[in-house]
Amino acid sequence: MAVEDWQLQALRRSIGVVQQDVMLFSGTLADNISLGRPGITRETVERAVADAQLSAKVAQLGGLDTLLSENGGNLSAGERQLLSIARILAANPPIVILDEATASIDTETEQAVQRALERVFEGRTALVVAHRLSTIRKADRIVVMQRGQIAESGTHEELLRQAGLYARLVESAQESQRLLG
Domain ranges for the chain, please list them.
Answer: 3-139
10 Å Cβ neighbour count for 6? 13
E strand map for 11-136: 15-19, 27-28, 67-68, 95-99, 125-129
Asked if 130 and 136 touch (Cβ cutoff 8 Å), the reply is: yes
Mapped onto helix, strand or coil, the DSSP state of residue 154 is strand
Query: What is the pLDDT at residue 38?
Result: 85
Residue type, 16: G
Query: What is the pLDDT at residue 105?
Result: 72
| Average pLDDT score over residue span 173-178 | 76
Mapped onto helix, strand or coil, the DSSP state of residue 129 is strand
* Architecture of the domain made up of 3-139: 3-Layer(aba) Sandwich (3.40)
Indicate the pTM of the whole model: 0.80
Highest mean pLDDT among 13-27, 65-79, 147-161: 147-161
Query: What is the pLDDT at residue 181?
Result: 61
pLDDT band at 59 (very low <50, low <70, confident <90, very high): very high
